Every structure is written in C-alpha cells, then in structure tokens.
Structure 1
C-alpha cells in the first residue's frame, strides 16, 4: 500500500512530510483530530465525524482552513490514491506554527495532515471478547473535545496492558466514564446503560450508531452514569468505537462478567452493526 499523505493541502509521500519544531501541536498538543473508518473504500458515518470535528474546532477556537465539503473530497481522493479498501483515515489540524508562547499566535495558519492505515475488522476480538482493567480517570473536564492531549489515555492503556488486560475502563471516584479509546456500555435486566454524552466522555460515532440500532430494535436504553460495582455485576458489557466496532468485555479486574462470554444483546447489536456496513 502506498504511503501518500495529505499535508498542508498537498498530496505527498510520507517521507517528504516535514513537521516544524514550532508547530503548536508538537509542543502544546494544541490541535484536534478525527479517525474515520473505511469499509469497501468508503468513509463510514462521515457526517457524524464531521459534525464532531466542527464542534471540537469551535470549542478550541481553531478556524478550519477548508470547508467540510472540501475536506471530504480531499479525504476521498487520499483513500483512492492509497488504494485503501478497509482501514482508517487519520485527520489532524493544529493551531499552526509559531514561536513557543502560551497565548494564541496571531496570523498563524492551521497545519493540516491526513493519512491512511490498513486495518481489518477486529473479528477475533469481537467473537471471544476482551479483558479490561479499571483505572482512575485523571483527564481534564472537556473530554467531549477530540483533542491531541491523549497522554492520560495512553498511560491508562499501558497500565491495563501491564496488568494483563486488553483495555482500560476509566472511572471517576467509582463512576464509570469510558475506556482509553472507546465508549463502554453494560446490560442489566435487558436494559443498556451508558454514561451520558456530557463533558466527561467523548461521544463516539459508533456509540451513536449502536444506541440508534438498540432503539430501533426496541432494546431499552438509559444514558445515565453507572458504577464500577454495577459494571462488575452486569449481565453483559461491551465497548464501542471506530476500530473496535462492538466488542464484548468478558472480564474486568480478573472477574468474569456474568458467564464470561458475549451475551445476547451484544450479539444482536453486532449483527445489526454489521448490517449497516454492508
């Protein structure tokens, strides 16, 4: 697969990309990003991703240098140039390059970058499920913005891996928020519970699709906070995300969730989600 990048409005080879040491994304994490899933060469749920991109840009006060229509056309061309059929497109904007100073620089143009990665569907994990570890959520209070400030997420993910888990489930004083790079839902008494889409979580695009599919299937849904204890006592648990789709969580902190296997609601939602990408 060729490595064609879109960088500052040009399609160039990966090895020709040059990042300025003055880029505010490099030393402040001053920027935003989106990860789009590609199935059969097409962007999945593009509109929802772009809505979140605009919301984050507005929240960070970064003026996007292109219209959404232009960005989508450029990403589609990038997918074509790379011959991507199944994978992801990563898109990033930083505030720009300027001498290091905390105030927003005057006149700096946003730096843009996008690239493709081949990534098959996670069918094995979706079938067998994953193990997770609970980790305190030490992030800031605007988790609803998809920014480049991901160090707490990476620390949590590594803590989970060091403990023998596959992912970290974050909680604030015992209240579950989300995972290191995905949303989490549980099933109790036939009802899906998931943290509301407020400032404490990132409202995932796949999260929105799954909630819609659940309601269409007449599966009760409650968007309310739940505790680690409720998670451990759940009938089912699963994560949702652009790269993980709908993946069961079968063990948490070494404890099996119910029978330690994917439950019927999870399987039903997996099938419904698969139908949307066909």
Structure 2
C-alpha cells in the first residue's frame, strides 16, 4: 500500500453520513476520489473539499489503496461492488474494501469471500453516532474481518471516528451493529413512555429531565433527545425508515440464531405506526407521537 499519509481512497456513497466522512479524509491528507449515484452530490463534494469524482464505482476504485462504501442496504452494496462497473472490477490485489453500510452479516461474509478470491482484503464496518458523529469525526466503528486488514485501515478510519474496534471475523461488525440497534430501540421506547407519563401526570417535563438525567436513568438518548421530544421536534437525526431497515435485518438474524427479541419486535411495530402517520423521515425519538395519539 501507499505511504500512510498519501493513500489513494475511493469513497462510494455521499449521503448524510458519507459526504462528511469522505470530507474528513480529504482534509486530513488522503487522496480521495468519490462516486455517488446522484452525480450532483459528487460535484458538490468536490467543490467543497477538493479531490476528484468518478462516473462509476469502478472508475473511482481504479488504483485505490482503500475503497470505502457507505450506501443504503444489501442490494445497494451489491450494485456498486459487482459487475463491470462495480469496484471489484478494478480493485488491485493487496487493496482493501471497507463497507460502512448497515447491512446483513450474510452480505459481509459473501463480500469477504468475493474479495478473497481476488486477493483483496475486506472489513465490514457499520458505524454509530449519526449525522452529527459523521460531521464531527466522532463515529464509533464496529468491524469484522482479518487483523492484518484492520491494521491497514485503522489510521484512516480514525480520521472520522473516536473509536474503531475489530470484533471478530467477517460479519462481526454487522452483528455488533444489530446489538447497538436493539439497545437504542429499547432505550428510546422507555424514554418515550417516561416523557408521556410525565406529561399525563402534569409534571414539568424539562424539570423532570434535568433532575433524572443526573441519576441512574441517564442515557445518550435522554441527554440528546429528551428535550426535543417534549417540544415535538423530529425533523432531524436518524430517520424512522432507516431504523426499521436496521431492525428488519436484526430480527431476521435473530430468527436464524435463535435469539428472542420480544421488545425489539414490539418497538419495530411502533415505528411502523410512526411511518403510517407520515413520519418515516422523522427522528427515532418520534416514538412519543404514538403514545400521545393513543392518549
């Protein structure tokens, strides 16, 4: 691979996460070429950060030391990896493919095998921290793959992360992200019910939050979403549509590994009700709206 301070990086997928993540790499010394399905986003990125854009994933990946993906789902990943225009068509032996997409563990294992056949390394690397974490370079990255590949990638990943940890073989990063989403779903539902109870009891919700956030009930969700929940503000953050995608992956994995997730399944159905209310793009903290409607 190239000198660590001058790596050639292809970044595929410039959504609300990928756009700033690729920007951190360019600003911190990497030579970045971007691809996005909607070309104007790639042009906007180049205008803001410099670097280059490519017309296809294959063109972006040609000559790259690292190829990084951050797209929507399993099918989106396959569409930019395989075929004549996919990144594997031009990646060189010894290069490394990193997938930040929250996708299935089965896809991660599939990609690891496809890369191995071509002498290419692979890491599944879903992230947590949301849009703010991406913009501020403070993401948590959960990785699956080989230790040697992680060692090659770690310095680059830390240019937009506060934590990056290898958790096992290919698929382990995706499985850990599923654990992460299970925890979030339960905590947000608990917070929504607590705020609903406070409102129904006639309490000053903000005063309650200020008080209980100093004790054992404190959580990231309480600190970052409690006040906006009380204000009914949901037009930001991690969308319900995205959470339902993640929970579908999680519940499907649970059916295969025998895990019992009754609370996660229930919260997933509450999110379906939010979608039915037109809140598919609302933040996940919008679970409170379901309770308020029933009340």
Question: TM-score when scaled to structure 1?
Answer: 0.30
Q: Higher relative CO (CA 8 A, sep ≥ 6), structure 1 or 2?
A: 1
- Please identify which structure carries the higher helix content: 2
